[in-house]
Amino acid sequence: MSKVATGARIVMGAAFVVFGLNGFFHFLPDPALPERARAVITSFVQTGYLMQVVKGTEVVGGSLLLTGVAVPLALVLLAPILVNIFLFHLMLAPGGLGPAVVLGACELVLARAHWSRFRGLFS
């Protein structure tokens, strides 16, 4: 795997592990969010399960990326979460769009690096 793909794997894995764990242990301060964005996050938390599932999936997917084990599986697990992160910031909290774009670029670099594993999905 190229150095770019390895860097993307580590950056993406670390981000999802850190922010996933933060969903459980709250060691990072909550960002200032516009009112509508805050309402969405609050409703997710109040369901009692949704944020735990998302954050747990982030930790698992990020850990797979960091260890390099089952990277294609990690990309499949994290893709829908990443799409929602991107759309959330695009529509509700544009201040966080930069990191979402970086993670999206990492996903694309890694998908290209592992394209032989995904080719069958598109044939």
Among 79, 30, 38, CA closest to 57: 79
Residue 79 is encoded by which pair of tokens? 């893709």
Q: How far is residue 65's CA from residue 30's CA, in Å, rounded to a whole number?
A: 25
**pTM of the complete model:** 0.94
Q: How far is residue 88's CA from residue 4's CA, in Å, rounded to a whole number?
A: 27
Residue 74 is encoded by which pair of tokens? 């990690």
Q: How far is C-alpha 123 from the geometric centre of its chain's CA atoms?
A: 26
Tens digits of pLDDT across the chain (123 residues): 699 999 999 999 999 999 999 999 999 999 999 999 999 999 999 999 999 999 999 999 999 999 999 999 999 999 999 999 999 999 999 999 999 999 999 999 999 999 999 998 888
- What is the per-residue pLDDT for 106? 98
Q: List the chain domain ranges.
A: 3-122
Q: How far is residue 33's CA from residue 84's CA, in Å, rounded to a whole number?
A: 16
